């Protein structure tokens, strides 16, 4: 890395808005023929400038999922009174970044307002309320969402139906009714069934396949199955096990996506656990890469700082590819390698460890081998690549900014 004078720095200030970052997870995923690699987020996190800077890094994240701001209790806390403020913030962020938006979620047994969960319903009145909610929400976000998780977590672990207010009152027909209502409100959006522990063969995965068949038997539209993939280090299904069930979903004529991927461990974190976590992430991403119908992967937030795991599973955490200080963990390199990319770690003049990434395209494309001229290649808090394309040098301006010149 070389240093330049303030005069040269002044000459290039005009090109700073056009900076091109080094290739990352999303870039590598697209090169492998996938639609996206993305992350969930929540409104409270967006006040963290360093967090937001990385979330806006479209080389790593080409898609965003609102973690909570599109759920029923947030959007329709009182019957037929809708509030889209929080959801719109994330939808607008994705739109500004040209990132795909996976919308989440329309019908779920949890995070319901009390007027739904504790209401006195008949079959007809609850169907009407459910359809009204779906119609209003999907219509509001029409054109913004790549996909909707229409029904979320309808199954128990043994594959039986969860005894939710919807199942109690309407029976299993609530599922195809919900899909039909969503399709009527936005015929173009992809419609998903989403659940956890359906990523490898077993009674629950079979029941998820039967939900696809149920919706299809009603003549309703269903486009995909979302595999939440909340895994545990060392207990994550093997690549072959995941590949087998991905093929089973694909055989039903639907696409598949990993929608909430994280891999938690019992704390404290150790080098051995981090190494196993890297392997588990690698195997999961590789299973998606190998299945044509698996179109993308979303991690359930990118940093341990904002992971849901510690507040839900006592004594567990460190589930994300970045740690709580926003440093990339071995899991990041595992994901990137499964996507056909490579990463090398270097140290900047400020003493910080950074990761440089390259990716290899599928047979239909070329290759990315470095950061283009004018691209940022280093600086305090920089999480992108540090290797410039042939003929250019990573040039130091200050501790916060280096550029390929």
At residue 65, the 3 state secondary structure works out as strand
153 included as an active-site residue: yes
Helix (H) or strand (E) holding 395: strand 394-398
Which of 76, 199, 255, 260 is catalytic? The answer is 260
Contact between 177 and 130 under an 8 Å Cβ cutoff? The reply is yes
Which of 153, 199, 255, 291 is catalytic? The answer is 153
How many whole angstroms separate alpha carbon 244 and alpha carbon 251?
Answer: 11
Which residue has tokens 């895994």? 231
For 404, phi and psi rounded to 5 degrees? -80, 115
Contact between 137 and 188 under an 8 Å Cβ cutoff? The reply is no
CA dihedral 354, 39, 275, 279 (to 10 degrees): -130
> DSSP characters for 370-389?
SBPTT-EEE-TT--S--PBP
For 78, phi and psi rounded to 5 degrees? -125, 140
260 included as an active-site residue: yes
Contact between 225 and 180 under an 8 Å Cβ cutoff? The reply is no
Provide the angle, in degrees to the nearest 10, between the axes of the packed helices 239-250 and 271-290. 30
Distance in Å from the first CA to the final CA of the chain: 11
How many whole angstroms separate alpha carbon 382 and alpha carbon 53?
Answer: 9
Please list the alpha-helical segments (H only) found in 267-393.
Answer: 271-290, 309-312, 330-338
Tell me the catalytic residues. 153, 260
């Amino acid at each position: 890395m070389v240093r330049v004078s303030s005069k040269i720095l002044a000459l290039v200030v005009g090109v700073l808005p056009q900076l091109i970052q080094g290739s990352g997870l999303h870039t590598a995923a697209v090169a492998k023929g996938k639609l996206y690699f993305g992350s969930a987020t929540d409104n409270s996190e967006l006040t963290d400038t360093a967090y937001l800077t990385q979330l806006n890094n479209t080389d790593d994240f080409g898609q965003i999922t609102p973690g909570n701001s599109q759920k029923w209790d947030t959007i329709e806390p009182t019957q037929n009174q809708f509030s889209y403020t929080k959801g719109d913030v994330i939808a607008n962020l994705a739109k500004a970044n040209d990132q795909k938006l996976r919308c989440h979620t329309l019908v779920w047994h949890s995070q319901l307002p009390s007027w739904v969960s504790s209401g006195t319903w008949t079959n007809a009145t609850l169907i009407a309320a459910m359809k009204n909610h779906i119609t209003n929400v999907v219509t509001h976000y029409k054109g913004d969402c790549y996909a909707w998780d229409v029904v979320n977590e309808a199954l128990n672990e043994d594959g039986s139906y969860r005894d939710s207010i919807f199942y109690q009152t309407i029976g299993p027909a609530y599922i195809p009714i919900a899909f039909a209502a969503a399709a009527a409100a936005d015929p173009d959006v992809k419609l998903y069934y989403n659940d956890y522990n359906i990523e490898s063969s077993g009674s629950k995965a079979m029941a998820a396949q039967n939900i696809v068949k149920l919706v299809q038997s009603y003549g309703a539209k269903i486009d995909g199955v979302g595999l939440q993939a909340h895994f545990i280090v060392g207990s994550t299904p093997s690549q072959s096990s995941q590949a087998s069930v991905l093929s089973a979903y694909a055989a039903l004529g639907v696409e598949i996506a990993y929608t909430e991927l994280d891999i938690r461990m019992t704390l404290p974190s150790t080098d051995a656990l981090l190494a196993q976590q890297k392997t588990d992430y690698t195997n999961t991403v590789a299973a998606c890469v190998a299945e044509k119908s698996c179109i993308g992967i979303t991690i359930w937030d990118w940093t341990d700082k904002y992971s849901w795991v510690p507040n839900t599973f006592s004594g567990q955490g460190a589930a994300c590819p970045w740690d709580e200080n926003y440093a990339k963990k071995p899991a990041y390199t595992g994901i990137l390698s499964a996507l056909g990319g490579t990463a090398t770690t270097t140290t900047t003049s400020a003493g910080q460890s950074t990761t440089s990434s390259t990716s290899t395209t599928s047979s239909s494309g070329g290759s990315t081998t470095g950061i283009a001229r004018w691209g940022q290649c280093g600086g305090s808090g920089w999480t992108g690549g540090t290797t410039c394309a042939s003929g250019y040098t990573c040039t130091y301006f200050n501790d916060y900014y280096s550029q390929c010149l």
